Structures are given as C-alpha cells and as structure tokens.
Structure 1
Amino acid sequence: MDEQTFYRHLRVTHSQFVYLTEVLRQHGLKGDQHDGGVKIPLKQKVALFLWYMANQNSFREISDKFNLSQSSAHRCVVEVLRTFCTMVPTFVSWFTECEKMLTSAAFRAMCGIDCIIGAIDGCHIKIQRPPVRGGDYLNRKGYYSVVLQSIVDGKGRFRDIFVGAPGRVHDSRILRKSTFFARWAEKMGRYMLLGDSAYISREYPFIITPKRDNGALTTQDQQRNTQICKGRVVVEQAFGRLKCKWRRMRDLQNTRLDVVVMLIMSACMLHKLCTGPTDMCKDHPTGCPRHEDENI
C-alpha cells in the first residue's frame, strides 16, 4: 500500500508500524503456528490487531480479510492485548521533575495558570450489558459503559490511567478508588491538575476546578473559569482522538469485562506509541468529537 492508503486502513504510518512491531517483539510477541501448522508472521498479527482496533468489523469479516479462521484471528488479538498490558507501566508513566517543569510552562502559555502539569477527566466507553450486576454499568445517558479515567499532559499524552469502573459511578468516586489517589501527594508535589466541576471537593486540593455559575460570579471568577476551560481542553481532545482514531473504542461488544479493560488499556498505549507531533485528524481539524459520552 502507499502511505496514505496504509494510514487510512491501519491508522498508523509505515514507520510507526515498524516501530510498534519491534516494541511488541521486544516484549515477547512472536509469530507462531495456527490453523493446522500455518505460520502467522509477527507483522500479520500486528496488522490484524491494528485493523481490529481501527475499525468495527466482526471477527468473521477480519478473518476473511486476513485469510485466517475466526478462532485464529481472535487468538491473535488476545495475544497482542496481553502483550500490550505488560507494557503499560513502561509507556504510560508519570512525569519526571524535569518533565513537570516543561509541562507547567506549556500550560502557563496555554491558559495562564501556574504550576499545572495536567488535566484529569473520565471518558465513558460503550459496552454491552454485563451478565453480572449489569445495572451498575448503566450511565446517565442511558447506555452501558465502563469509565476510563485519565490524566494527560499539555500534549494530550496519557500520564496515568485507571480503567474499568462501572458507568454509573461518579467521576469523583472513581478518583477516590484509583491507584493515583493513594499517592497523589507524592506524585503531585507542589503542582496541580485541572478538572471539571465533578472534582469540586475538599478531598482534592491538588485539582483546580471552575466555580459553579450560580448567577453571581464576578468578572474575575468568569475569567478564571475561562482559563481553566482553556487548559482542560487537552483531555477532551485526547479522548476525542482516542475514539476517532481507534474506532473500536466507540462501542465494545465484548461481554467479558477483563477483555474490555485490556482493549481500553491497549488503545491508550496505541495513542501514546502511534501519535506523532504533527498528527491531525483530517475529518476534524479543530478537534475530534467524543462520540456520545461528552459531558457525562
């Protein structure tokens, strides 16, 4: 394929594909024997997985396209998912002190607020109703979902993720249950995060939130809220790009929640590994929509 066609189908460039394949190989993924001894090369596994994540095709359609049985196509996806999950601590990592200073400067230029290193929010990923305690996953918009809580830096890169909370759970409660919250003082130091009104609480002194508009906001309060919104847009855009580029995230049909969690974590990894500084969605040059979950 030429570069444009390759990117349209797999959502990565040729160079990103080579890099991703090598990273997965170093973490233990390899070609092997399926379908009665037919060898499935490593590159074919990676290409199949990228196609699966970038589209919403069924395994019947994918197996036909890659000339494999449905069971082999499914096995390839699961193998790559498991490999991705071992990579999360390495590639979705917290800031170093130097990175904190650089990111703080970027946010200062973006929104005019000092000592900000990231923005936090939750994103709902649509799923089928789970067979056990399914009602817990029904969110306020009327569909079943799990929540991806993320902290992103000034470039929209995921720095901390917490995946799998039921869609019915409020963002504030998810934060309290997350692994980040247990160590927030150590991780944040003197720095702060930007968040929306869901995080207005004395429990979160490390999050700057807008004041609720009760009709009596001063001009200074309104300006402050505008600054916070300008900074928070990076996390909104990150979720939008995630769902626009890796379209599997718009609607996960898997009923097994452990697989759902692995898929979401893998999408976050792809977002980190396969997003270049000049990447821009041609369909949405001003920012990708979040597809159904916005403002939940």
Structure 2
Amino acid sequence: MVHNTKFIDLIIIYESTNLVDTLEEFLPESQPSGAVAAVGKVGLQNKTVEDANKNTMIVNTIALLMESSSSESDGEEDRILLHKILSSDICLFTSERTPRNCIVNYAEQIVPTYSEKEFRTNFRISRSLFENLSERFLHSRQYKKLREDKRLSHRVHLLVFLWFAGHEACSNRDLGDRFDLCLSAVTNVISRVTMFISSLSPDVIKWPTEDKKRATSEFFNRKCFFSKAIGCIDGTHIRIDPPKTGKDDYIDRKGITSICLQGICNEDIKLINIFVGYPGSSYDSWVFTNSTIYDKLSSYFGGNIN
C-alpha cells in the first residue's frame, strides 16, 4: 500500500519520465508487482505518459494501490485522504497557473510613455543612466549565463530592481503585480541585479586623483570656507532581517535591526569610499576608527593628521 505520508511526494513527481519506476520507490518491497500492475491498469506505462491525463492517472493509481492494502487502520486513513482529494477539498496536483490581476505590459508599454521627470520620480535615476546601466547589464556575466529562450529582458531586470530599491514600502508581491512576475522570479531578478551593481563598485566608488582632490578642495573652500577638504563623511543604517545569533547587537537607536554604512562623497555627491558591516548599535566614531580608511589617512590625504 501507499501510506498517506507519501501522497504529497507521490503527486509531486508525477511528471517523471519513468513514472513506473518512481512509483515503485514509494511501495514496500513485498508489493512491487502489485504497484506495477496498478500502474499498468491506468495507462502509466512510459509510452503513454505524454498523452494521458496526468491528474486522473495519479488519482486512479492511488485508488488502486489503496485497494491492495492489507492494513485496515492505515487503509481507512488513506481512504479519508483520497476522498478529500477527489472532492477537491485539497488540490495537490494541478499544474495550471491561477489567473491573477496584474498590470499588463507595464515595462513594455507604460514606462516608455513616461516623461523624463516621471521616469526619474518612479525609478530615481535619469533615463540616460538607465540605458547605460541596462546596456552594461546586457553584456554582464549575470545576464549572459541565463537561457536565451527563458530570460526576461535586461531592461525589465533593471526596472524591477530600481522600483524595489527606490520604494521603501514596496514588497515582492507588489513588484510581481506591477511587472506580471511570480514571486520567485522577482526574488531572482533582484538578487541577479544586486550582484551586477555590486560588481561595478570598483570602477565607480574610488578614491580621487591628486588633480580631483585639488579641484574638490577649491570648491569647498569657495562655497563652504573649509580649506583642504576633499569630501564629506557620514553614516547611515541599512535595514536587515534579524540574524539568528546576536540580534540585540544589530538593533539601532530607532529599534530597527540594521547594519552601519559609512560613506564619503565629493562635491558632486558621488561616493569615493564606503565601509559597511558593523552592527546597527555601533557608534559612528567606533565605525570610523575601525574602518579601512582610518589607517590609511596619512597616505590618502598626505601630511600629519594629528
């Protein structure tokens, strides 16, 4: 017999190309021939798998296997579960996607109609920067390794990520409804583009040259009356899921679980150095003295810093 604890496993594998052998794995050694006979009765031989109705085959197979049960107590439990399956109280083996309400062709038809202001408001970057990033993503390792006949367009990837990054209250389900994607696809897209953006950091976040430092210093001296300043430094917090251990260390002053990010930017509000990772309860001074740039201040700025 097939015990009810195996029903879900049995139903999940019904698309196997060799269902006869697969079903035998779920049966006691004393009844393999009965299982094969039952399978044969409902037309589950390999040559007919592609043509038969899979849902009906599974239900009939379970029913026939249950009839061969020698245990009255187990058989009664199995009959109750089978009755629930047949009465559609539970649906374990439908392969059809349930239609859901979503915005149709948002990326393909609606986004192109946005003005420059509307595009920047929704995605937080200019359209020209978006085109530049999407083109680079198209030729990235993260995108090229995807199957050409299955992958979403490079533009949709970036639009999903930018909407996620630019709207704090946005959930994965909101993204799925907006871009007509399932939740797993949304998660994969965000992860994929995150890795791509991270790979760009060495080329984008870098310490200025001597000429750039002089130009920056002149700007701050002229605008803010600060001499020899080449950047502005501050800290922020990045919200994270609570870790399994040491959760209290990551609770910041606002009661949010986070990690600290220290950033230095120039007069163009472009980051030239970042340091991230310390628990959210850490003070800015502690993060600074333990950051990678602290021990390099002399070489980065020149002269005696004391």
Q: Taking structure 2 as the reference length, what is the TM-score of the superposition?
A: 0.58
RMSD: 2.1
Residue 69 of structure 1: aligned partner: 182
Letter in 2 for 1:50: L
Residue 96 of structure 2: aligned partner: none
Please tell me whether the aligned partners of residues 162 and 178 of structure 1 are also in contact (alpha carbons under 8 angstroms). yes
Q: Which has the higher contact order (CA 8 A, sep 6+)?
A: 1
State the identity %: 28
Structure 2: which 5+ residue stretches go unaligned?
A: 1-112
Against the structure 1 CA distance between its residues 143 and 176, is the aligned structure 2 distance closer, same or farther, given a 3 Å change threshold? Answer: same
- Separation in structure 2 between the aligned mates of residue 151 and residue 5 of structure 1, nearest angstrom: 29
- Separation in structure 2 between the aligned mates of residue 24 and residue 97 of structure 1, nearest angstrom: 31
Residue 226 of structure 2: aligned partner: 113
Instruction: Give the 5 Å matches for 1:159-238.
Output: 159-190=272-303, 205=306
Q: Taking structure 1 as the reference length, what is the TM-score of the superposition?
A: 0.59
Please tell me whether the aligned partners of residues 152 and 158 of structure 1 are also in contact (alpha carbons under 8 angstroms). yes
Please tell me whether the aligned partners of residues 217 and 230 of structure 2 are also in contact (alpha carbons under 8 angstroms). yes
Against the structure 1 CA distance between its residues 6 and 140, is the aligned structure 2 distance closer, same or farther, given a 3 Å change threshold? Answer: closer
- Separation in structure 2 between the aligned mates of residue 143 and residue 29 of structure 1, nearest angstrom: 32
CA offsets, 1:158-216, max 9 Å, x none?
Answer: 1100112111111122112211123221111149xxxxxxxxxxxx73xxxxxxxxxxx
Residue 163 of structure 2: aligned partner: 51
- Separation in structure 2 between the aligned mates of residue 106 and residue 29 of structure 1, nearest angstrom: 39
- Separation in structure 1 between the aligned mates of residue 268 and residue 127 of structure 2, nearest angstrom: 23
Instruction: Give the 5 Å matches for 1:118-133.
Output: 118-133=231-246
Offset of residue 128 of structure 1: 4.2
CA offsets, 1:101-160, max 9 Å, x none?
Answer: 000001101221211111212112334433221110122333332111011112221110
Instruction: Give the 5 Å matches for 1:204-283.
Output: 205=306
Offset of residue 95 of structure 1: 0.8
- Separation in structure 2 between the aligned mates of residue 2 and residue 86 of structure 1, nearest angstrom: 29
- Separation in structure 1 between the aligned mates of residue 235 and residue 166 of structure 2, nearest angstrom: 22
Letter in 2 for 1:45: H
Offset of residue 21 of structure 1: 1.0
Structure 1: which 5+ residue stretches go unaligned?
A: 192-203, 206-296
Against the structure 1 CA distance between its residues 166 and 76, is the aligned structure 2 distance closer, same or farther, given a 3 Å change threshold? Answer: same
Flag the structure with higher strand content.
1
User: Secondary structure at the residue paired with 2:151?
Assistant: strand
Offset of residue 26 of structure 1: 4.3
